[in-house]
Structure 1
Amino acid sequence: MSPNKIILFSSIFALLLSSCASYKPQVIQSEQIFKEGQVPFQQCHASTIQPIGKDSLLAAWFGGTHESNPDVVIWSSLYTKGKWQPPVQIADGIIVDTRYPSWNPVLYQYPTSDTLALYYKIGPNPREWKGFVKYSQNKGQTWSVAQQLPEGILGPIKNKPLTLANGLILSPSSTESKEEIWKAHMEISLDQGKTWSISNIRPDTSIQVIQPSVVQHSDGRIQVLCRSKENKVMAAFSMDQGLTWGPWQATNLLNPNSATDAIRLKNGLFMIVYNPAVAGKDWWEGRTKLHVATSKDGLQWKDVLILEDGVKNDEYSYPTIIQDPKGLIHITYTWNRKNIKHIVIK
């Protein structure tokens, strides 16, 4: 490489580092997606959000009497012209003539496709649920008949798939056995989701993790960040596009057995939304605070925003995060199981 090119690349790299170091995210919008009395369900949880065109968003979540009740179905709301529209039901848990609860919707769109996918789960509990998918050709206005995914394929368990530059889809997933053993895996598709293969993420260890989010580093490495039973957000890396994985590593982020979500920003930094606590006696403890942190390497993180600073019995949990085509960052999360909150960051 010529000296001039080395100087050019060094200057660009220095500029990127300077930009990352000076980046201070700011909340520019904070709102609840629906109004009290606007919905028929008592509780809601596990939201997902997707850009729709240039200026619209689509959010989805599950709602019903309470989590795991058979009346729990998938709801969605469209954000257009600066306003969230009244929620509508878009999927249920009816299989043949039996009704089961629905769980954890994930919206995903392949970059070169006009088809929007809604992945979700149906079953009595996370140990016995099955993966399903619906498709929309009109930006979420109407949906196809539900299709069950192939046996053993659950779909993205909570967080979005990552599409690589070569078209490979990495769908982060996990299982919870009847013995309460947690294991993470990657579901990989080479044909835009028509067929899938599974890459287990370090099943040979005692580390128990679920609900990965997946990001790609500038050097091509793939990283997952997981909810765990270890009181830390756990990470693992792949050098071969998710086919094999290195050992689990603890990040410096606390984890109270609660979901997280992470993305790589356009400026090169990684951003995660998480509950900064350790596990309590009951599974819901540790979800009263919700923070945003950034990182350069995916392992050492620094808090940059406090989204919620609640008190005992509050629950701010199951965040999801995206960056839209304009560069704005959108976060949705469960607000006391009574609403879904939408935060916009620049």
Structure 2
Amino acid sequence: MKKLFYLCLFSMAFFVAHGQKIQSAAFIYESAPFPSCHASTLVETPQGIVAAWFGGTYEKHPDVAIWLSYFQNDTWSKPVEVANGIQGNGKRYPLWNPVLFQMPGKELILFYKDGPAPDEWWGMLKRSFDGGKTWSAAERLPKDIYGPIKNKPELLADGTLICPSSSEDHDWRLHMEFTKDGGKTWSRTEALNDGVTTSAIQPSILKLPDGKLQLVCRSENDFVLQSISADQGKSWSALKPTTLLNPNSGIDAVTLKDGRHIIIYNNTKKGRSPLNVAISSDGQNWKDVAVLENEPNGEFSYPAVIQAADGKVHITYTWKRKKIKHVVMTL
């Protein structure tokens, strides 16, 4: 009994110290038709918040599909399958890394990857004109176009959608992809790094007050890496480390309406716990403001983060590969 008492005291102290900005934290589902899940994505539509992720027997199993849920009246709907890897010839491949994006005043786009492994996959997309309730037939993207590889695109002032992307077929290399017509036609940059001296994938894009863009990304170099673009993503400075640790695990980041930046990351060089929230006013100096998970040896990974129209910050992440957790914060 005494042990339980002190555990409760510790939990309360931890919440006061680290969770005072957290309004709610809950799983999107308690049970589902799949035992394993990963790589969630979030978007706000006119109908409300929508989340998607991949789920199946285990990552890379051919039965892995894209699942989706809707957040309305503070409740998540039952997950539904919206895409699978069944090919025209009947063969089935696993699906990977969904990314949702709401075209302003137009359709909701679901980007995802299809194929046996990350060094062989190809880009796909589907469209929904009713907030994700129904979906068009799948469209395959052009060769060497993957769409946003894990984290959300950003819409530039001229209407161009810039998609932070990367490839794993010739080492781990970043690049940017662009579409001005909602994914019908595409262009892309060359690789931004050599994949050898600097190995990086899965960038997120931040918007700086001087009109420049900043990317932050996962790396095999112990730290979250960053780069700056002064020409709306066409060219980028050399990658350099931030002060944020990275154990070769996915991150996500977004620029808030007040100009501050928020990043969700694993604050360690090894493992995927803890999972932290940090804030920066300039994209360079970061301060941790919350710890979402800190169970030793647990896996809490692949976060997604957005700010909704009401100013609240929504975060989802993989919880032990078994569930997707949803956190709402005010910052």
Q: Does 1:154 align with 2:146?
A: yes
* Distance change >3 Å, CA 25–CA 272, structure 1 → 2: farther
Q: Does 1:302 align with 2:287?
A: yes
Q: Provide Cα deviations, 1:273-329, integer angstroms capped at 9, x if missing partner.
A: 0001114xxxxxx102100001122122111110001112x1100000000011110
Match among 6, 19, 29 for residue 24 of structure 2: 29
Partner of 1:47: 40
Partner of 1:14: none
Percent of counterpart pairs with the same letter?
47
Shift of 1:109: 1.4
Partner of 1:130: 122
Match among 303, 311, 316 for residue 296 of structure 2: 311
Shift of 1:190: 2.5
Aligned residues of 2:249 and 2:266 also touching (Cα < 8 A) = yes
Aligned residues of 1:201 and 1:245 also touching (Cα < 8 A) = no
Match among 179, 188, 191 for residue 181 of structure 2: 191
Q: Does 1:117 align with 2:109?
A: yes
Alpha-carbon distance in 1 for matches of 2:134, 2:241? 42
Partner of 1:6: none
Q: Provide Cα deviations, 1:50-89, integer angstroms capped at 9, x if missing partner.
A: 11226x2111000000000001000011111221111110
Alignment of 1:208-223 (within 5 A): 208-223=199-214
Partner of 2:323: 339
Aligned residues of 2:45 and 2:102 also touching (Cα < 8 A) = no
Match among 64, 87, 90 for residue 56 of structure 2: 64
Structure 2: state its 5+ residue gaps.
Answer: 1-18
Shift of 1:204: 4.8
Partner of 1:289: 274
Partner of 2:192: 202
Shift of 1:201: 4.7
What letter is aligned with 2:78? P
Partner of 2:312: 328
Partner of 1:19: none
SS at match of 1:185: strand
Match among 241, 247, 254 for residue 250 of structure 1: 241
Alpha-carbon distance in 1 for matches of 2:117, 2:20? 37
What letter is aligned with 1:315? E
Give me the TM-score of the superposition, normalised by structure 2. 0.91
Match among 155, 163, 179 for residue 163 of structure 1: 155
Q: Provide Cα deviations, 1:76-118, integer angstroms capped at 9, x if missing partner.
A: 111112211111100001121110000000000122x320000
Alpha-carbon distance in 2 for matches of 1:204, 1:129? 20
Q: Provide Cα deviations, 1:6-26, integer angstroms capped at 9, x if missing partner.
A: xxxxxxxxxxxxxxxxxx971
What letter is aligned with 2:92? R
Q: Does 1:276 align with 2:260?
A: no
What letter is aligned with 1:30? A
Alpha-carbon distance in 2 for matches of 1:80, 1:203? 41
SS at match of 1:245: coil
Match among 231, 235, 250 for residue 259 of structure 1: 250
Alpha-carbon distance in 2 for matches of 1:137, 1:316? 33
Aligned residues of 2:39 and 2:53 also touching (Cα < 8 A) = yes
Q: How many pairs are equivalent?
A: 310
Shift of 1:49: 1.0
Alpha-carbon distance in 2 for matches of 1:219, 1:92? 42
Alpha-carbon distance in 1 for matches of 2:192, 2:320? 34
Partner of 2:164: 172
What letter is aligned with 2:211? G
Partner of 1:283: none
Alpha-carbon distance in 1 for matches of 2:201, 2:76? 31
SS at match of 2:25: strand
What letter is aligned with 2:128? S
Alpha-carbon distance in 2 for matches of 1:183, 1:157? 12
Shift of 1:202: 2.6
Alpha-carbon distance in 2 for matches of 1:230, 1:320? 22
Alpha-carbon distance in 1 for matches of 2:120, 2:282? 36
More deviation in 102-111 or 202-211?
Answer: 202-211
Alpha-carbon distance in 2 for matches of 1:106, 1:192? 14
Alpha-carbon distance in 2 for matches of 1:220, 1:236? 14
* Alignment root-mean-square deviation, CA: 1.4
Aligned residues of 2:44 and 2:102 also touching (Cα < 8 A) = no
Give me the TM-score of the superposition, normalised by structure 1. 0.87
Partner of 1:3: none
Alpha-carbon distance in 1 for matches of 2:274, 2:193? 31
What letter is aligned with 2:49? L
